[in-house]
């Protein structure tokens, strides 16, 4: 059966259908398949995922952080004002596709999923390096959320989305990931982990949001400074500390050791207790 997955914290009670608190102010219409069994799609078909629009790919190298001319929509150069429509910058696939979650998308995708799998991405690592002025902070006191930076590897969750939901889900993700923070969408290959039903050679090509060097929201802070921000800041979607706690819980829910994030959580909890 097609399911709507929520990993980590317990869903809020209500009418029987739960919808996680969103990391955005917009969400796609919900879809629920009643009494149907989701067919497994061909993994090889995912290797033909569509490219990003040319303007976005060009922007990775051509947009300067120091430029003063902010266009109406330019996610790397500055936030897009509320009320401004985010254009389509991700081409819509004609088949089921995957979205990689390494931060809040792990426990709070905000859209219906057919299935979710623990995966690993090689060539990038997860880092609290993205300034958040809406979701987990304010312009006066910015919080921090996760970004992907080159080097190493990172474990997370891949969510499979129906082809029929592509436009709604991608419109939602364009608003959620590109309006405030300077992410760049990319299609990257992921390796499933802990899945005996498929060989280690199988890969998933998934939509992934990385943080390029030219991003306006990219910051580099010491471990001590990061802990201080997480312990102090809050935004529209709650405290920055809860972002970290939910991330660790979401990773554990899919059998992934949070690693160094455990020590960071201890430090943040200690700072909160002493304040």
Q: Which residues are catalytic?
A: 177
Backbone φ and ψ of 158, nearest 5°: -105, 125
Residues 6+ apart with CB under 8 A from 222: none
Residues 6+ apart with CB under 8 A from 106: 7, 8, 156, 157, 247, 250, 251, 254
Do 207 and 108 contact (CB within 8 A), yes or no? no
Number of C-beta neighbours around residue 58 at 10 A: 11
Secondary structure of residue 1 in the 3-state scheme: coil
Do 147 and 127 contact (CB within 8 A), yes or no? yes
At 167, which helix (H) or strand (E)? helix 166-178
CA distance to 1, 191, 218, 230, per residue, from 205 (Å): 23, 9, 25, 32
Do 64 and 58 contact (CB within 8 A), yes or no? no
Do 72 and 179 contact (CB within 8 A), yes or no? no
């Amino acid at each position: 059966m097609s399911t709507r997955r929520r990993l980590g914290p317990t869903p809020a009670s209500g009418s029987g259908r739960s919808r996680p608190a969103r990391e955005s102010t917009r969400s796609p219409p919900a879809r629920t398949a009643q009494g149907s069994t989701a067919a497994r799609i061909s993994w090889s078909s995912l290797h033909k995922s569509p490219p990003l629009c040319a303007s976005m790919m060009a922007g990775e190298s051509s947009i300067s952080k120091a430029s003063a001319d902010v266009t109406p929509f330019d996610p790397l150069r500055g936030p897009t004002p509320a009320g401004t429509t985010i254009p389509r910058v991700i081409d819509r696939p004609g088949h089921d596709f995957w979205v990689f979650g390494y931060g809040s998308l792990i426990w709070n995708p905000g859209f219906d999923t057919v299935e979710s799998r623990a995966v690993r991405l090689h060539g990038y690592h997860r880092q609290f390096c993205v300034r958040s002025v809406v979701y987990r902070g304010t312009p006066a006191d910015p919080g921090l959320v996760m970004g992907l930076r080159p080097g190493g590897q990172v474990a997370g969750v891949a969510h499979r989305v129906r082809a029929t939901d592509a436009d709604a889900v991608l419109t939602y993700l364009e608003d959620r990931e590109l309006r405030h923070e300077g992410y760049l969408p990319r299609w990257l290959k992921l390796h499933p982990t802990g899945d005996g039903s498929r060989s280690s050679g199988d890969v998933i090509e998934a939509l992934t949001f990385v943080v390029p060097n030219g991003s306006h929201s990219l910051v580099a802070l010491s471990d001590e400074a990061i802990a201080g921000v997480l312990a102090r800041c809050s935004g529209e979607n709650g405290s920055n500390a809860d972002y970290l706690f939910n991330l660790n819980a979401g990773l554990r829910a899919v059998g992934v050791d949070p690693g160094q994030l455990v020590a960071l959580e201890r430090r943040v909890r200690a700072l909160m207790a002493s304040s």
